Amino acid sequence: MSFHTIRQAPARLNRSELAVPGSQPQLFEKAAKSDVDVIFLDLEDAVAPDEKDQARRNVITALNDLDWGAKTMSIRINGLDTHYMYRDVVDVVEACERLDLIMLPKVGTAADVYAVDMLVTQIEDAKGRSKRIGFEHIIETALGMQNVSEIAGASPRNESLHFGVADYAASTRARTTIIGGVNPDYAVLTDPLGDGTRAEHWGDMWHYALARMVVAARANGLRPIDGPFGDFQDPDGYRAAARRAAVLGCEGKWAIHPSQVALANEVMSPSAAEVDKANRILAAMAEAEAAGKGAVSLDGRLIDYASIRQAEVLVEKAKQIAA
Ligand code: GLV
Ligand code: MG
């Protein structure tokens, strides 16, 4: 291990994160009753410019008056290049003790994080807020991806990084079909096989971006979260995208429609078999320690310390879900 200790963000369940437009208060009640782990009430891209003020008022009322249960509540503020952003922060943070997180869209540099941190710190101090606001950052521009490591380490408020695939595609001018989906043009054509035919294997065009963000997040103790999948009529496509993200280390995925919440929770929760195996690994380790043995084995296989650490993480996650 490095001598450098990574400070871990507060442990929150973040398997699913539901986007709810602040301009559509008729959707709030249903979201509050859903099984989602985190909700972000959106003041940014789902809200038209002439609805920004009303959306902010809706969000303040809803955060104060609705019962959101134990969910983690966030707002997505407008970008730092707009004049809506300062009011999003000042008005909502001043008025809403229930708010847990602020989501910063299109973060480009560590200084963007610093600026919002300064503003939030002043409001917290002035208002004597007891609960400290955390930050979630959407990495969704070429600039943000270039500076992802500095952004990840820019504030002790940072909790998670989110891959905003739609804006990322726009910023990098990637050729996409549907938001977060795959593109048949991103494929490998094999050389001729034994029988002379050639096979085509589709690839995941988001692999590099997502993997890069995961590394920056984990190296700074943050949760990496995969962003939207646009076609909410394609649960299999959603599951496949979520599984790819989970395999790379993401802890959760956005839902842009309530029907995607269950899919995210399903893919991002460890299975009963995985939890069972993790528990057996930890039991085998405890047994080996009690017997003074250096090597731990289970089912005829040697267990190394990396597997033990993975088992600890998994069991901790299962406990959080059960709670
Ligand atoms: C999310 O904001 C995205 O652009 O994908
Ligand atoms: Mg976006």
CA neighbor of 223 nearest in space, from 17, 2, 4: 17
Mean pLDDT of 287-315: 86
Does 258 lie in the same domain as 200? yes
Q: Of 251, 269, 287, which closes a domain?
A: 269
Burial of 99 (0-12, 13-18, 19+ CB in 10 A): buried
Does 293 lie in the same domain as 157? no
Rounded to whole angstroms, the Cα distance separating 125 from 15 reads 31
Question: How many domains does the chain divide into?
Answer: 2
Mean pLDDT of 54-62: 98
pLDDT at residue 299 is higher than 90: no
Does 156 lie in the same domain as 143? yes
Range of 2-11, 37-46, 309-318 with top mean pLDDT: 37-46
For residue 232, what pLDDT is reported? 95
Does 277 lie in the same domain as 234? no
Q: What are 28-49's pLDDT values in tens digits? A: 999 999 999 999 999 999 999 9
Q: Which atom of ligand 1 is closest in space to residue 228's alpha carbon? A: 5
pLDDT at residue 63 is higher than 80: yes
Does 277 lie in the same domain as 137? no
pLDDT at residue 155 is higher than 80: yes
Does 297 lie in the same domain as 160? no
Q: Is residue 287 part of a domain?
A: yes
Q: 307: pLDDT confidence band, cut at 50, 70 and 90?
A: confident
Does 265 lie in the same domain as 294? no
pLDDT at residue 263 is higher than 90: yes
| Half-sphere exposure for 309 (CA within 13 Å, toward CB) | 4
DSSP class of residue 9 equals P
- List the domain range (segments joined by +) for residue 295: 273-322
Does 285 lie in the same domain as 150? no
Q: Do 141 and 106 touch, CB atoms closer than 8 A?
A: yes
Q: Which atom of ligand 1 is closest in space to residue 167's alpha carbon? A: 4
Tell me the best of 74, 140, 145, 225 to mutate to test the pocket of ligand 1, counting ligand atoms within 8 Å of each CB and taking the most.
Answer: 140
Residues with CB under 6 A from ligand 1: 138, 140, 164-167, 227-228
pLDDT at residue 295 is higher than 80: no
Rounded to whole angstroms, the Cα distance separating 29 from 284 reads 46
Pairing mode, if any, of strands 134-139 and 223-226? unpaired
Pairing mode, if any, of strands 187-189 and 200-202? antiparallel
> How many angstroms does the Cα of residue 89 sit away from the middle of ligand 1?
20
Q: Is residue 167 part of a domain?
A: yes
For residue 70, what pLDDT is reported? 95
Task: Name the pTM for this structure.
Answer: 0.94
CA neighbor of 320 nearest in space, from 16, 11, 77: 11
Q: Do 12 and 45 touch, CB atoms closer than 8 A?
A: no
Q: Of 227, 243, 269, which closes a domain?
A: 269
- What letter represents residue 181's amino acid? G
> How many angstroms does the Cα of residue 174 sit away from the middle of ligand 1?
14
Mean pLDDT of 227-236: 97
Burial of 152 (0-12, 13-18, 19+ CB in 10 A): buried
For residue 293, what pLDDT is reported? 81
> How many angstroms does the Cα of residue 70 sit away from the middle of ligand 1?
25
Q: Is residue 6 part of a domain?
A: no
| Ligand positioned closest to the Cα atom of 79 | 2
Q: Is residue 298 part of a domain?
A: yes
Q: Is residue 5 part of a domain?
A: no
Does 284 lie in the same domain as 203? no
Does 299 lie in the same domain as 223? no
Atom 1, ligand 1: which residue's CA is nearest? 164
Mean pLDDT of 116-139: 97
- Which of the pair, 301 or 212, is modelled with greater confidence? 212
**CATH (domain of 181):** 3.20.20.60
For residue 69, what pLDDT is reported? 96
Percent of the chain whose predicted confidence (pLDDT) is above 90: 88
Q: Of 269, 287, 304, which closes a domain?
A: 269
Atom 3, ligand 1: which residue's CA is nearest? 164
Q: 177: pLDDT confidence band, cut at 50, 70 and 90?
A: confident
Q: Is residue 9 part of a domain?
A: no
Mean pLDDT of 106-114: 98
Does 297 lie in the same domain as 208? no
pLDDT at residue 294 is higher than 80: no
φ, ψ of residue 86 in degrees (nearest 5)? -65, -35
Q: Is residue 1 part of a domain?
A: no
Q: 99: pLDDT confidence band, cut at 50, 70 and 90?
A: very high
| Ligand positioned closest to the Cα atom of 209 | 1
Q: Is residue 59 part of a domain?
A: yes
Does 279 lie in the same domain as 261? no
Asked which of 4-13, 153-162, 165-174, 221-230 is least confident by mean pLDDT, the reply is 4-13
| Ligand positioned closest to the Cα atom of 40 | 1
